[in-house]
Chains A and B, each alone.
Chain A
């Protein structure tokens, strides 16, 4: 039930029931079969769709967080570091990049990300936390005593 003419909007014609149903039919316009033509079926489907849309906004945020974590972890593993050591190392160096930025760098700026993992590794070695034993000291990192 798609309303292509503007005539329907000119005056409020017809009983209240018509306009109440029209609101639902407008949302059901792109469905197929009885669910777009038959009110009792349409309202059920439309309500369900609206609930999904509401819940989906929260799920989208969770999915994005998950994707970002996956990207950072993949980047870390490539350089032989684990996620927690990277976060801890960077925070101890006062580098306040958040997960979103780290994920962006891991995916699109691999050289910058490697530099960050090197910084974190160096700090891990110096402070002696995390999985230090398994770590190789990064090559070519010069701190000039300023990593404190």
Chain B
């Protein structure tokens, strides 16, 4: 019986297709033969939509082409990136200075490439990584300009009328990082043939 129902449904769907290629509504006339089993199952056709598979593909290719074109012509505007450094995320653009707190090995004068890019945005587009964007698509170059300690912070606790008073002083290690460059390199939607070998020493 279920086979029969499916056949009917197939017929129904082709029937509705004739009418329109948008979402089918309930108010379409259903042949009276089909109301035969209406107590046990619904005769109303399932809502459906005729999707053109090439439409999405066309739009996608168009967008990717536009982004690539902007990048090649240099009209993408000032880029910003969200990078993951020393356990924290920073939204950076060219010329920024980051302060990284706590122990962090790089020394003054070191030039660093920040590879963990979570998000890259221009004036007309944004690339969102899952969680990182494709390696080699964005360059974020930085220089360590200063390593120092913060000002002295006083940690003072006191309880009134309890003869309790403690004082401690501490300073935090700070590293200043200048962002020299945020740039888009390579082409969108053209991943390398082999990936994951960038940092492997063979």
Q: Are the C-beta atoms of A50 and B156 separated by less than 8 Å?
A: yes
A51-B158, A53-B156 known; 4 new pairs, CB 8 Å cut-off, are A50-B158, A97-B119, A105-B119, A109-B121
Is the CB of A2 closer than 8 A to any CB of chain B? no
We find that the number of chain B residues with CB closer than 8 angstroms to chain A is 24
Report the stretch among B38-46, B102-110, B126-134, B173-181 that lies at the interface.
B126-134
Q: Which residues of B contact A5 (CB under 8 A)?
A: none
Residues of A within 8 A of B (CB): 47, 50-51, 53-54, 57, 93-98, 100-101, 104-105, 108-109, 111-112, 115-116, 119, 142, 144
Offer 15 A-B interface pairs, CB within 8 angstroms, sorted by A.
A47-B158, A50-B156, A53-B156, A93-B130, A95-B129, A97-B82, A97-B89, A97-B119, A98-B89, A101-B91, A105-B91, A111-B126, A112-B121, A142-B59, A144-B56
> 3 shortest A-B CB distances, which residue pairs?
A50-B156, A96-B131, A94-B130
Q: Which residues of B contact A111 (CB under 8 A)?
A: 126
Is the CB of B60 closer than 8 A to any CB of chain A? yes
Q: Which residues of A contact B121 (CB under 8 A)?
A: 109, 112
Separation of A105 and B88 alpha carbons in the complex (Å):
15
Q: Are the C-beta atoms of A101 and B156 separated by less than 8 Å?
A: no
Separation of A94 and B130 alpha carbons in the complex (Å):
5
Q: Are the C-beta atoms of B154 and A97 separated by less than 8 Å?
A: no
Q: Are the C-beta atoms of B154 and A53 separated by less than 8 Å?
A: yes
Query: Looking at the complex, which one of B129, B131, B156 makes contact with A51 (CB distance below 8 Å)?
Result: B156
Is the CB of B153 closer than 8 A to any CB of chain A? yes
Q: Are the C-beta atoms of A101 and B89 separated by less than 8 Å?
A: yes
B124 nearest in chain A by CB position: A111
The answer to whether A47 and B89 touch (CB under 8 A), given A93-B130, A96-B131, A142-B59, is no
Q: Which residues of A contact B190 (CB under 8 A)?
A: none
Q: Are the C-beta atoms of B80 and A109 separated by less than 8 Å?
A: yes
